[in-house]
Amino acid sequence: MRKPIIAANWKMNKGPSETEDFLTSFLSKLGKATDKCDIVVAPPFVSLPKASQILHSHDVSVAAQNVSQYDAGAYTGEVNVLMLRELFVPYVILGHSERRSVFGESDEVINAKMLKAREVNLKPIFCIGETLEERESGQLEAVLKRQVNEGLKGFSEKDMLETVVAYEPVWAIGTGVTASPEQAQEAHAKVRVLLAELFGGDVADKVRIQYGGSVKPANAAELLSQPDIDGALVGGASLEVASFLQLIENGTNKGE
Ligand code: 13P
């Protein structure tokens, strides 16, 4: 039984004071939601110390949105894995489509970051997903296969078990267009087969695969009730306390 994992990717929103305001309010209203799902919040780098300080005594985890593939040195503007460990950050989002398309990160760079993260036991939230053009030209499977095979090169079974996969079709991110539950389930099932090919069925069965792309309170229950959808990676709807809480509530109760 895979425990769902719901993560807030705030992207380039919320500095330290907004982070503090959000988390204080969020924690005061969260109740027992973490009995049913793991919750992760990924603020920008500058807000990680504040988030980590507030969350360390709570059952909500912090994620960074990126990390360097390099160790310390002359890499202006970068943050390395040890710096994240020093802040007690357990998760890091890697391979996000915005990193791939806006910042030109290749599968090879993403793989280097994935391996670097695992050197210090950071847990990657490994994002994959196709563009609309790729989907419409029948390349969905090939794209997912390439991203999975290249991004996870050199991973052991243990590394894979410490990784969360996020399937985020690029055409659904920030567009208000969500993949239908059937489309999402189909893609998730394909990803699980790809993981089974690389790591065996037992490992693939245990890995959590989140869906991301315009997840809202209104569609969370239907998406998360699909058999291979084990959580959500949420952008826009995670920026307001009320909407993120409602999404968690709907996603974990699944209409019960
Ligand atoms: P939206 O929920 O705003 O579509 O963003 C999804 C996303 O990119 C999460 O990583």
The model's pLDDT over 113-128, given as tens digits with 9 standing for 90+, comes to 999 999 999 999 999 9
Residue of 174, 232, 178, 228 lying closest to 206 (CA atoms): 228
Domains in the chain: how many in total? Answer: 1
Report which ligand 1 atom has the smallest distance to the Cα of 173: 4
Residue 173 lies in a domain: yes
C-alpha 198 – ligand 1 centre gap (Å):
27
What are the E-state strand segments in the chain? Answer: 5-9, 38-42, 61-64, 91-94, 123-128, 164-167, 209-212, 231-234
C-alpha 73 – ligand 1 centre gap (Å):
32
Can you read off the two tokens belonging to residue 19? Answer: 């982070």
Residue 89 lies in a domain: yes
Print the domain residue range for 90: 5-251
Residue 180 lies in a domain: yes
Report which ligand 1 atom has the smallest distance to the Cα of 233: 9
Query: Measured at the alpha carbon of residue 119, what is the angle toward residues 118 and 125, in degrees to the nearest 5?
Result: 20
Residue of 151, 181, 152, 153 lying closest to 169 (CA atoms): 181
Residue of 114, 112, 144, 143 lying closest to 126 (CA atoms): 114
Element (H, E) at 191: helix 181-199
- The residue annotated as part of the active site, out of 105, 162, 168, 222, is 168
| Through-space distance between the first and last CA atoms of the chain, rounded to whole angstroms | 18
C-alpha 9 – ligand 1 centre gap (Å):
7
pLDDT at 253: 87
With a Cβ cut-off of 6 Å, ligand 1 is lined by: 9, 96, 168, 173-174, 212-215, 233-237
Q: 121's torsion region: left (phi>0), alpha (psi -120 to 50) or beta?
A: left
Q: What is the CATH number of the domain that holds 46?
A: 3.20.20.70
Would you tell me how many other CB atoms lie within 10 Å of the CB of residue 205? Answer: 11
C-alpha 214 – ligand 1 centre gap (Å):
6
pLDDT at 50: 98
pLDDT above 70 as % of the chain: 99
Q: Is residue 256 over pLDDT 70?
A: no
Residue 106 lies in a domain: yes
Q: Is residue 39 over pLDDT 90?
A: yes
Residue 85 lies in a domain: yes
Q: CA 177 from chain center: how many Å? A: 19
pLDDT in tens, 53-102: 999 999 999 999 999 999 999 999 999 999 999 999 999 999 999 999 99
By three-state DSSP, how is residue 42 classified? strand
- The residue annotated as part of the active site, out of 96, 130, 162, 188, is 96
Residue with the larger pLDDT of the pair 174 and 48: 48
Judge if pTM exceeds 0.95.
yes
Q: Is residue 22 over pLDDT 80?
A: yes
Q: Is 58 a catalytic residue?
A: no
Q: Is 168 a catalytic residue?
A: yes
Residue 256 lies in a domain: no
